[in-house]
Amino acid sequence: MKKLRRELEFLLYECLGAEELFSRERYLEHSRETADDVLDMAQRIAENLLAPHNVKGDREEPHFDGERVHLIPETKVAWEGVARAGFIAATFDHTWGGIQLPEVFMRASMAMFSAANIATTAYPFLTIGVANLIEHFASDNDKKRFLPALLSGRFSGTMALTEAAQGSSLADITTIAKLQPDGSYQLKGQKIYISGGDHEFCENIIHMVLAKIEGSPAGVKGISLFICPKFLLNEDGSLGQRNDVQLAGLLHKMGYRNTVNTVLSFGEQDNCVAYLVGEPHKGLHYMFQMMNEARIGVGLGAAALAYAGFDYSLYYAKERLQGRFASNKDPLSPQVPIIEHADVKRMLLAQKSYAEGSLALCLYASRLVDDERTDQEGAIATELLDFLTPMVKSWPSRYGLKANELAIQVLGGAGYIIEYPVEQYYRDNRINPIHEGTEGIQALDLLGRKLPYKQGKLYQGFLARIKTDIQKAGQGRGLSSVLAERLIPYLELHQQVSDFLLKAMAQNIDLALANASEYLDFSGRLTLGWLWLLQVRAAELGLETASDKTYYQGKLQTAQYHFDWEMPQMKEQAERLMGLNSLAYDMKADWF
């Protein structure tokens, strides 16, 4: 965790200028010192309350005995520790008991939690999301009833969106809400894949449910958002009767196991009380406003797991003696640590590139959330964040998984057995390209929505930001100016491809979107190139001043790895994209 902590500090202070935030109105009470205290506390919680039961939560996964759901008791202890230390409330207003911590520090803390134990971290992660929704869109009365309980950890939260028959197609959900005389609603329907949907480690569970009010229009426009508590609340806020939300069953997963995954039935006995959030038919709109942050969270979790695997396989590669250089023919000479083998170094370098690049991307995005809230030019930050979000969610998910695959490979046979931690990271991470919008969904979002949005204004802002950073880096000497120069043709290539696809979408939207996933990956490569450029600039400063130069030398080498091993693929991707490659599009179902 020490190594990850160092990495986070580099990104926060040396690369993203997070200290600047402390001079903003909202964050005035914070300073480098208080922020470091927060990170210290997060690190202690990660090390002492989360990491120790990461394996146990996987081996002894949640189970349902027909009446109750059982989780290992460490889950409750960790939940309470996280809540008591104020991490659920941290970024919220003082009014609600928060400390108005900048988002980027909250996320950095979550990165440590996730690296230690991503499955248990899911509970506070989801609860923060629910609290955010309520704070932004619920009535004052509901805020008062639910927010303090959520933020203090008395209640936990879930997001109940998906239904078995609909999956990603939220337009087609069938859960129904019926208005009651008292202004509340009755829900009826079933939701699937609900993380944290049932447990007993806190007093109550608040489900945020997407449903259609009777008589709503078809499609996404008819979706509304509801608060549906497991236990109803009495007038005085104390727990009242059990609401008609029933556990229909648990789903058992390949990984991420200590996050209980449930099927929930709402209103089986026609008595499921729920409260509308905001206005009718705006449920999806509300959800989407919170989506950026949820998606940063997924990306960051994937990045943290990538880092955890990198960290362990690095440790292993330094300890493990095996083999000799090809140039050494003496079988009596001592074996070398495997980190001396170039192929092992390549696998570590790739992991370092994926993990650190992903962390940088997610913290950059978190910093934009802070700008959105507190900067005079918050609207610009919002637009950039909107454009980046599909990549923030999907790049770390895809390449973080790849990193974990390489961590296993570094360990060899040991990587495949459960006595070593890397196989669990790999299993845990496999969900990230799926939940909170699959890769395919992110790809459609980027190419089909974000690129053309506002006549390309989001995209123009993205390009402008990169150009500015290229210009800044180009003024220096050293590696940053070299990489800035190398980034330019890729930026131009990206513009060319994007212009082409915009026109193609106007012609035949289905064909032009057919290779959206390729465009997403293509865009991710460019974006990471830009973030590596930012890191190199910071590392060059570090090299000038710091006494421990090895950390910074590693940064320079890893940045070059991204430029030499990942960026060149953009050329062939561009060819396929601009050729409107139609192999998949043309394929017939019965040809398979």
Nearest CB to a copy of itself, comparing residues 183 and 331: 331
Q: Which among 117, 115, 118 is positioned nearest to 310, based on CA atoms?
A: 115
Q: Residue holding tokens 């499921």?
A: 272
For the bound state, the minimum distance from the C-beta of residue 5 to a copy of itself, rounded and expressed in Å, comes to: 16
Residue 493 token pair: 């290539």
**3-class state of residue 396 by DSSP:** helix
Q: Which among 129, 106, 101, 108 is positioned nearest to 5, based on CA atoms?
A: 108
Beta-ladder partners of 251: 261
For the bound state, the minimum distance from the C-beta of residue 197 to a copy of itself, rounded and expressed in Å, comes to: 14
Q: Residue holding tokens 């998910």?
A: 397
Q: What DSSP state is assigned to residue 337?
A: B
Q: Which among 133, 20, 122 is positioned nearest to 367, based on CA atoms?
A: 20
Nearest CB to a copy of itself, comparing residues 380 and 543: 543
Residue 203 token pair: 């007093």
Nearest CB to a copy of itself, comparing residues 93 and 575: 575
Q: Which of 163, 356, 436, 566 is catalytic?
A: 436
Nearest CB to a copy of itself, comparing residues 517 and 527: 517
Q: In whole angstroms, what is the distance from residue 104 CA to residue 86 CA?
A: 16
Nearest CB to a copy of itself, comparing residues 101 and 556: 556
Q: Which among 206, 227, 221, 228 is positioned nearest to 280, based on CA atoms?
A: 221
For the bound state, the minimum distance from the C-beta of residue 102 to a copy of itself, rounded and expressed in Å, comes to: 29
Nearest CB to a copy of itself, comparing residues 288 and 565: 565
For the bound state, the minimum distance from the C-beta of residue 591 to a copy of itself, rounded and expressed in Å, comes to: 4
User: Are the C-beta atoms of residues 234 and 240 closer than 8 Å to each other?
Assistant: yes
Neighbouring C-beta atoms of residue 291, cutoff 10 Å: 18
Q: What DSSP state is assigned to residue 548?
A: -
- Our answer to whether residue 436 is catalytic in this structure is yes
For the bound state, the minimum distance from the C-beta of residue 276 to a copy of itself, rounded and expressed in Å, comes to: 21
Nearest CB to a copy of itself, comparing residues 2 and 588: 588
Q: How big is the CA angle at 156 (ends 298 and 146), to the nearest 5 degrees? A: 115
Q: What DSSP state is assigned to residue 214?
A: T
- What amino acid is encoded at 2 in this protein? K
| Burial class of residue 250 in the structure, from the number of CB atoms within 10 Å of its CB (0-12 exposed, 13-18 middle, 19+ buried) | middle
Residue 308 token pair: 């955890």
CA dist 305 → 122, 312, 401, 426 (Å): 13, 11, 8, 8
User: Are the C-beta atoms of residues 245 and 228 closer than 8 Å to each other?
Assistant: yes
For the bound state, the minimum distance from the C-beta of residue 306 to a copy of itself, rounded and expressed in Å, comes to: 14
Dihedral of alpha carbons 69, 75, 79, 80, sign: positive
For the bound state, the minimum distance from the C-beta of residue 387 to a copy of itself, rounded and expressed in Å, comes to: 19
Residues known to be catalytic: 436
